Chain A
Amino acid sequence: MNWRLLAVAALLPWVGAAAWAATAETRFSQTLSRSDYVHWIELYDAKGDQIDPARPDAAPYSPVHTCGRCHDYEAIRHGYHFSTGSTSGDSSRRGEPWIWTDDRTGTQIPLSARGWPGTYDPAGLGISEWDFVLKFGRHLAGGGPGEGPSAAGDPPAAADAEDAQKPAKPAKPAKAGDKAQANAPAGRWHLSGQLAIDCMICHAKDRSYSPEVWSDQIASQNFAWAPTAALGLGRVEGKVSALPDDLDAAAADAKDKLPKTTYLPHRVGADKKVFFDVVRTPDDRACYYCHTTRFTGAEVAPEWTHDEDVHLRAGMTCSDCHRNGIEHQTVRGFEGETSPSGQPVQTLSCRGCHMDESGGGRLGAPRAVHKGLPLVHFDKLACTACHSGPRPGDKPVQILTSMAHGLGLPAHHYGEKLPPAMVAPVYLQAGGALAPHRMVWPAFWGALKDGEIAPLNPDKVYDALRRTLRVRRGSNFTAAVSEVKLTAADKAKALGEERAAVAEKELTGEEKAKLEELTAVMAADAFRKKLAEALGELKKTLPADGSEPVYVAGGRAYRAAEGAVEAFEHAAAEPYAWQFAHDVRPARDAIGAASCFECHADDSKYFAGVVTALGPAPDNQPPQSTMRQLAGHDPLMHKAWNLSFPGRTAFKFFGFASLGVLALVLLAYSALAVVAIARFVRRL
């Protein structure tokens, strides 16, 4: 055997592996420069073909094939912002859910596929990726459910002839915190195309990116066209939503019917390349589009009086803490977080940056001194309990968020009446420490069986109850079910015959209050009557397996009972709450910075604030709890501590005086001892 041939044969695999490794490293281009690369790039469509922007039949550009030529789209698509249809990243801490709101049926149900206790998996409710994207696409960055049913998990297995004849098994009823299996594909993906991750929704540096256009395109079912239109690269004419379901997108004449893309000439260079003004770390504006929170309500001070987060005022950006690599596993910044990337992220939490002895102080974070604060506070309180969000008041403030209420899109209806009703701050225990939370009470129609309540698909509920509830266009569930018109007899009963005949504007404040009270009572009765009707109607749609229709809202569950409606307690009616950390207030504005009595007093809002359940169901006496009850604190213990606090200042003076006496005695007798020893030694 020729030993040279043997040597070559032995070395060849190693050479091949090295060559492969070298090839793998250069699969995606990098500059490794801190200076952003100037993106004059060609556009590619969803099939991967290069686009000639000058052509009248040019396809919309696809981020998958355009951005994905140089950036690892496959790694990116598992990132935290794009994986709403599956789990990835550290989901150990509950976050803001998607809230499916339907004003026609009084529904506000928290949805999440991450298995957070208190939320429901959309697939378990029969909400397809299509429905999800149409409902929430306004604040989705693309990817996840936007990539269609095949991206939501394993695609449905190809059924053989025998299986095809068997009736489809009903989906397993949804339970809070469950992760359901993907249902059969639904939607018009063959026409709309995929809603791929639009990188420019975060990484556009200039102000040409319009989330409003993004949202409009999605509402028109123009998923594949949305990135082009939102970035302002071109005009999109036509709507997929106007096309019939059975249109064959591959047919020759289909191109004329599908939306048309016209690239704007000034955006295209002579070499058919387009300039993308890209930035590596997104601007705060990009984050704010999905992560804005506003206070609402008559008692809330105007927006211009509120301060921004202290970190942003200090010159930091959101991405300085909430950072990620190419895999886009964005750090959330809570204590104990682990990053799927394997990189340590403890120093990117509050404590890690501001207090940790090893690795803290990143980006020049000042060391939190906490002068005079007993150490026990660090065990009992999260950093956010004192430093984050609005100061606690008599009751939590009602809030609006981008994800839940669609902030960022121009509308006339923003206000405290816009569902879902959400409040903050509510101080609850989280991991053994008190932390501020946002809270929402679920409201939905469901089926009660074996003690468990499974929510029903909201659209199917609407179809079943449309005629019963009769919610008119422009009205809502609450108004429809509590519609009351006071008759003359009703007014006479409340005000007397004489005053009942008087015009409303001439009534006194007290009389108006009486009428309002009567209206409220009658509205509650009207609601129960309507609810009984609706539950009876819903019963007809449920399978005959002992399921009982229920309505959950405002912290209560309702079921039909002997022709009427009874309210009962159930875990499904309990509020869903999630921690928040922004906006962070400066150290001097921390709770307790001025005085210990901000918390250690009987009337401290921290503990005595009252949380009232909110929801679409009219309720004259909604469930109420104090913060103390919700946090599970012992009221007797609080009372005992609060009693001890007024004497604290006097005790400090007394203590110093007492120890002064003690020190003097010790000093005096030490001196005597020294003198005695000296005398003894001298005698020796």
Chain B
Amino acid sequence: MFPDICRLPIAASSHSSEIFRIALPVGLLAGAAIVLLHLVITRFCGKAPQRKPWRWWEALVYLGVLGIIACLGVTAFAAVLRLGAIGGWWLFAHMCGAGAMVAALPVLALMWADSNRFQIGPADSGPAEPVQFLAIAKLAYWTVLASGLVVAGTMIVSMLRWLGTPGQQLMLDVHRYAGLVCVVAAGVHLYGVALRRLAP
């Protein structure tokens, strides 16, 4: 049995496209499940801390990044589900979004890294400071950044003359799954922001 388990990744690597087509809807459903679970859990939590207002340019950047991730997700996933692979105008639009993503990610990181730090341990005495993001949104934020680094990094490395076809295939596989994680995390983050804004 153990040898069979060890052989699984090798077998999977030669069918990565087919496996991703199955993993894609599963991943998206998993994101939806996380959101639902959190909704249920928050019903039993106490009142959320006071909301820290957003500045106008923060909202602009946030919406821009969301739009870029949505564009990248739609162009990739819709093409994969409908056509099996991304190509033609889908690929071109995806590539255009990718350029924007590479520009937006460091801006997102520099703008909100501090606001997304977790409070470890009990808070100091005194009134609670207003927070911009809920815990789930913070978690999603760091996931977006980390997976975004992998998503962009895999494709930029592929553009160099470093990797042959097996390496390119590996980069593509990592890119696909990291992209899925990034899209799901962005969706969860949007939920967290919406929940925060809608909370009394």
Contact = CB atoms under 8 A, between A and B. Distances in A.
Nearest to B167: A371
A373 B96 CA distance: 19
Interface in A637-684: 637, 640-641, 644, 648, 651-652, 654-656, 658-659, 661-663, 665-666, 668-669, 672-673, 676-677, 680, 683
A645 to B, nearest CB: 11
A510 interface: no
Given A652-B160, A669-B113, A676-B120, A375 B165 contact: yes
Contacts of B152: 655, 658-659
10 contacts: A355-B165, A369-B164, A371-B161, A379-B87, A637-B88, A637-B89, A637-B92, A658-B103, A662-B106, A665-B109
A371 B161 CA distance: 5
Contacts of A662: 105-106, 109, 145, 148-149
A374 interface: yes
Contacts of B99: 651
B76 to A, nearest CB: 13
B60 interface: no
B2 interface: no
Interface of B: 14, 85, 87-89, 91-92, 95-96, 99, 102-103, 105-106, 109-110, 113, 117-118, 120-121, 142, 145-146, 148-149, 152-153, 156, 158-165, 168-169, 172
Nearest to B110: A665
A652 B156 contact: yes
B113 to A, nearest CB: 5
Interface of A: 355, 357, 368-376, 378-380, 634, 637, 640-641, 644, 648, 651-652, 654-656, 658-659, 661-663, 665-666, 668-669, 672-673, 676-677, 680, 683
B160 A666 contact: no
Contacts of B118: 673
A261 B95 CA distance: 75
Nearest to B148: A662
B109 A666 contact: yes
Contact of B117 (A644, A656, A672, A677): A672
Given A376-B91, A648-B159, A669-B142, 4 more contacts: A374-B158, A375-B169, A379-B87, A662-B148
Contact of A656 (B91, B92, B156, B165): B156
Which among B91, B121, B160, B165 has the highest number of chain A CB atoms within 10 Å? B165
A452 to B, nearest CB: 36
A379 B83 CA distance: 13
Contacts of A655: 102, 152, 156, 159
A372 B149 contact: no
A182 B119 CA distance: 90
A659 B91 contact: no
B156 A659 contact: yes
B107 to A, nearest CB: 9
A665 B168 contact: no
Given A369-B165, A658-B105, A652 B159 contact: yes
Given A662-B148, A663-B149, A376 B87 contact: yes
